Amino acid sequence: MMPTSQIAASDAVAIEVGGIAIALRTQDHGFRQLLEHRYAGFVKSRLHPQFEFDIDLFDDVSDPSETAHPDDDVRVRMQDGQWLLQRGDFRAQWDSRSGRGRVRQSRNPYAIDSVLRIVHTLILAKQGGFLVHAASAIRGGQAFLFAGLSGAGKTTISRLAPPEATLLTDEISYVRREGDGYWACGTPFAGELGKLGENLSAPLHTVFLLEQGLENRIEPVATSEAIRLLLRNILFFAEDAELVNLVFRSACEFVERIPVRRLTFVPDQRVWNMIM
């Protein structure tokens, strides 16, 4: 059970993704406004967040006292009971037991965006879910997920979605375990479409592995191949053998329960006639 506290609307923004609320606290009014605008639709007021981060901003990303190097790759590891998250433009620490953390970052909103993504991957790993590089949408009360290599068509199929389909994301899909099933949740993590997903969720019906081709067709995918291709798209950053093992097991269990199909498609709206 995580401790909770009612956030003061004056200095914090609570962002809820996948039913998990994370409060971001900053004294910088301008940055708070930026967050409220950036995550519109996912910002919750009068909420008891499960997790909280205090954000300190620095202005000069090239200042060697702030970062080892602005181009440093992301690194996530456990040290002295706390998660340490680091990239060229941010350093964060997070105590998953108390739910509290601190972020020291540049004003680049994508820095906190990356922190949020990483924290959600850590939370989900223990719950049997994951973030995956995939588009997703709800149609007819069911969620469909579209994964594939870059250029395979995630943005294209999102753009082609019919009006009655609700786009959850064109970039990072949120998969949550619920009993024996899985739910897909909307995320504010946008890709080339540049549009936030809707903050909704639905039971996951099928995962489609995208390929563009000369005709529309759906084919089965062998279980081992489905696991391999799904794992290629799952986001996980932590250098932690136990959690990596959990994510691997989650992918295996997921493929046992959710159909994975290869969807070859011509990039026009007719492909959505096959998705229901």
Binding site for other proteins (CB under 8 A): 70-71, 74, 87-89, 110, 113-114, 117, 133, 148-151, 171-172, 189, 191-192, 232-233, 235
Distance CA 146, CA 160 (A): 13
Q: Which is nearer to other proteins, 7 or 243 (CB)?
A: 243
Q: Which is nearer to other proteins, 16 or 171 (CB)?
A: 171
Q: How do strand 100-105 and strand 51-57 relate by DSSP bridges?
A: parallel
Secondary structure letter of residue 91 according to DSSP: E
Q: Which is nearer to other proteins, 151 or 181 (CB)?
A: 151
With b for 16 or more beta-carbon neighbours within 10 A and e for fewer, the 108-123 pattern comes to eeebbbbbbbbbbbbb
For the CB of residue 181, give the shortest distance to other proteins in the complex, in Å. 25
Q: Which of 62, 114, 123 is nearest to 92 (CA)?
A: 114
For the CB of residue 87, give the shortest distance to other proteins in the complex, in Å. 6
Q: Which is nearer to other proteins, 52 or 113 (CB)?
A: 113
Q: Which is nearer to other proteins, 99 or 106 (CB)?
A: 106
For the CB of residue 73, give the shortest distance to other proteins in the complex, in Å. 8
For the CB of residue 173, give the shortest distance to other proteins in the complex, in Å. 11
247: tokens are 């994510």
Q: Which is nearer to other proteins, 7 or 210 (CB)?
A: 210
For the CB of residue 152, give the shortest distance to other proteins in the complex, in Å. 8
Q: Which is nearer to other proteins, 48 or 107 (CB)?
A: 107
Q: Which is nearer to other proteins, 25 or 154 (CB)?
A: 154
Q: List the Cα angle 18/110/119 in 5-degree steps.
A: 40
Distance CA 143, CA 111 (A): 29
Beta-carbon-side half-sphere exposure of residue 133 (alpha carbons within 13 Å)? 16
For the CB of residue 75, give the shortest distance to other proteins in the complex, in Å. 12
111: tokens are 């820095």
For the CB of residue 171, give the shortest distance to other proteins in the complex, in Å. 7
For the CB of residue 42, give the shortest distance to other proteins in the complex, in Å. 15
- Provide DSSP, 107-174: S-HHHHHHHHHHHHHHHHHTTT-EEEEEEEEEETTEEEEEE-STTSSHHHHHHT--TTSEEEESSEEE
Is residue 202 within 8 A of residue 174, CB to CB? The reply is: no
Is residue 36 within 8 A of residue 43, CB to CB? The reply is: yes
231 alpha carbon, distance to own chain's centre: 15
